[in-house]
């Protein structure tokens, strides 16, 4: 008798969005040919919470919808009431795995609007922090692809090495995850004594890791079978769906902001972003694996070319009363997941008019993922999602 109450549908929190307005075929769930399941909002492969609403027939996906909003903190609204300087502690939290891109973009934007040139040593230190941040992010993302297909060991190696890089960050900035190292006008400090040697030790360990993870993951027959040929992104989707970074490079598009529009001193470094044409999950993993090696190489180049001492802060007005001149700009930099942009508008007052973040996940995680999952097997959903390196906090800010 009690069963009746148990099966009653709660209409107020209806999980099924009304379809039909846009002319798409309405899937008749009563026909018993389709099942609707929720993948998420908690998934270990994604940093943050994101739910996928899947309509499946057998084990094939017919329709996928991304649902975000589990991590919305209203940062962009908050910045209307904060001075430019007060934005820094929260701006880093817009993307947890790679916070330094946020710091760099905001400080570079303020400097551009206010017409401040930063000293040479500060530029090199910023590049060092950005590359270290890219390395620790890649060390987490790249083996996670193995984790999504049932190979957990690489993830543990990656987390260990990431911790070593976080130790270096702690030494350099005082913070492990969120550093707030870059400020308008420069950076907060020079390298501590013995930092170069300790970083070099860590980089040697990363070199070992890249050799080992190749044997463990990339040359593994099961991993190859699970990933090669799955989750294909055709080249014509790249611009239509706004694909950037390693995902675009795995499809043969050489898109890298560091090469296209060099910022800081990237034009003085010698590197070539890796591209391939397969554009499946395996190719994206392989691209990230090469990216780790490129980043290690870049860190070594930066350490060799960086000046030992020098000015690290340009003079700025008092940050408590700083009225950034009116204007607008778009600052872009390359994160480990692709182009990362900040659109800043100042109206000449103490507070920003608008700070808008455009992260790579905004199109990867919503429009592209929804399209890619159609006709995929339900066992591949996690692998496809992780291969795009989606970071939900970036979508909802």
Partner 1 sequence: MEDMTTLIKALRSRFGITDIREQREDLTFLSVPKDRVIPLLTHLRDHEGFSSFILLTAVDWMEEEVFQLTYMLNNPEEKHNLGIRTQISREEPVMESAHHLWEHVATFQRELKEMFGIVFPGSPHLNEEFLLEGWDNLPPMRRDFDTKKYSEETYFPRPGRKTKDPAEHMKEKLYPNEPRPQRASQKGDD
User: Minimal distance in Å, beta carbon 328 to partner 1?
Assistant: 7
| 39 Cβ contact partners less than 8 Å away, ≥ 6 residues apart | 51, 52, 53, 54, 381, 382
By CB under 8 A, name the one of 84, 178, 253, 282 that touches partner 1: 253
How many Å apart are CA 315 and CA 208, to the nearest integer? Answer: 43
Q: Which stretch binds partner 1 (CB under 8 A): 145-153, 206-214, 314-322, 353-361?
A: 353-361
How many Å apart are CA 370 and CA 179, to the nearest integer? Answer: 34
Q: Which stretch binds partner 1 (CB under 8 A): 98-106, 157-165, 211-219, 361-369?
A: 361-369
User: Minimal distance in Å, beta carbon 159 to partner 1?
Assistant: 30
- Which residue shows structure tokens 């094939």? 60
Closest CA to 108 of 186, 189, 188, 191: 186
Are residues 115 and 350 in contact, defined by beta-carbon separation less than 8 angstroms? no
By CB under 8 A, name the one of 207, 277, 371, 379 that touches partner 1: 371
Are residues 268 and 127 in contact, defined by beta-carbon separation less than 8 angstroms? no
Q: Which stretch binds partner 1 (CB under 8 A): 188-196, 285-293, 338-346, 379-387?
A: 338-346
Collapsing DSSP states into helix, strand and coil, what is residue 337?
A: coil
36 versus 300: smaller Cβ distance to partner 1: 36
Would you state the structure tokens that stand for residue 377, as one six-digit string?
């097997």
User: Minimal distance in Å, beta carbon 128 to partner 1?
Assistant: 24
17 versus 194: smaller Cβ distance to partner 1: 17
By CB under 8 A, name the one of 154, 186, 242, 273 that touches partner 1: 242
Instruction: At 339, give phi and psi (nearest 5°).
Output: -65, 130
User: Minimal distance in Å, beta carbon 272 to partner 1?
Assistant: 16
| Binding residues for partner 1 restricted to 15-74, rule: CB under 8 A | 17, 21-22, 68-69, 72, 74
| Binding residues for partner 1 restricted to 271-330, rule: CB under 8 A | 327-330
Total residues contacting partner 1 (rule CB under 8 A)? 41
User: Minimal distance in Å, beta carbon 333 to partner 1?
Assistant: 13
| 156 Cβ contact partners less than 8 Å away, ≥ 6 residues apart | none
Helix, strand, coil tally for the chain in percent (to 5): 50, 15, 40
What sign has the CA pseudo-torsion 257, 134, 395, 243?
Answer: positive
| Binding residues for partner 1 restricted to 91-120, rule: CB under 8 A | 112
By CB under 8 A, name the one of 358, 382, 388, 393 that touches partner 1: 358
What sign has the CA pseudo-torsion 43, 134, 92, 259?
Answer: negative
How many Å apart are CA 226 and CA 222, to the nearest integer? Answer: 6
Is residue 368 part of the contact set for partner 1 (CB under 8 A)? yes
Q: Give the footprint of partner 1 on this chain (CB under 8 A).
A: 17, 21-22, 68-69, 72, 74, 76-78, 80-81, 112, 239-242, 253, 255, 260-261, 327-330, 332, 339, 341, 343, 345, 353-354, 356, 358, 362-363, 366-368, 371, 396
């Amino acid at each position: 008798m009690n069963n009746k109450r148990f099966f009653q549908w709660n209409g107020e929190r209806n999980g099924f969005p009304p379809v039909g307005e846009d002319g798409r075929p309405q899937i008749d769930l009563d026909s018993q040919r389709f099942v609707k399941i929720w993948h998420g909002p908690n998934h270990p492969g994604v940093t943050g919470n994101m739910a996928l609403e899947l309509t499946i027939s057998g084990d094939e996906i017919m329709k996928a919808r991304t649902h975000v909003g589990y991590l919305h903190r209203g940062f962009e609204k908050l910045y209307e009431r904060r001075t430019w300087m007060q934005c820094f502690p929260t701006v880093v939290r817009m993307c947890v795995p790679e916070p330094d891109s946020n710091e760099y973009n905001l400080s570079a934007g303020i400097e551009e609007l206010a017409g401040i040139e930063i000293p040479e040593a500060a530029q090199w230190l910023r590049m060092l922090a950005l590359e270290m941040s890219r390395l620790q992010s890649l060390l987490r993302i790249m083996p996670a692809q193995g984790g999504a297909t049932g190979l957990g060991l690489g993830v543990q190696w990656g987390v260990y090495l990431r911790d070593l890089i976080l130790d270096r960050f702690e030494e350099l900035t005082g913070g492990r995850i969120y550093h707030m190292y870059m400020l308008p006008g420069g950076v907060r400090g020079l390298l501590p004594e013995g930092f170069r040697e300790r970083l070099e030790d860590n980089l040697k360990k990363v070199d070992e890791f890249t050799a080992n993870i190749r044997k463990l993951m990339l040359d593994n027959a099961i991993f190859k079978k699970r990933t090669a040929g799955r989750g294909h992104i055709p080249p014509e989707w790249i611009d239509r769906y706004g694909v950037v970074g390693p995902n675009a490079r795995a499809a043969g598009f050489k898109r890298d902001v560091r090469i296209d529009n060099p910022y800081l001193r990237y034009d003085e470094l010698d590197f070539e972003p890796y591209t391939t044409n397969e554009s499946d999950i395996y190719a994206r993993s392989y691209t990230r694996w090469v990216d780790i090696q490129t980043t290690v190489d870049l860190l070594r180049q930066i350490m060799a070319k960086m000046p030992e001492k020098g000015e690290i802060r340009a003079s700025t007005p008092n940050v408590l009363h700083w009225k950034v001149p009116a204007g607008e700009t778009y600052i872009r930099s390359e994160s480990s997941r692709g182009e990362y942009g900040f659109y800043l508008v100042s109206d000449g007052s103490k507070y920003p008019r608008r700070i808008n973040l455009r992260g790579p996940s905004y199109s990867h995680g919503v429009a592209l993922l929804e399209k890619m999952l159609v006709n995929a097997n339900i066992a591949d959903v996690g692998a496809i999602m992780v291969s795009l390196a989606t970071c939900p906090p970036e979508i909802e800010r």
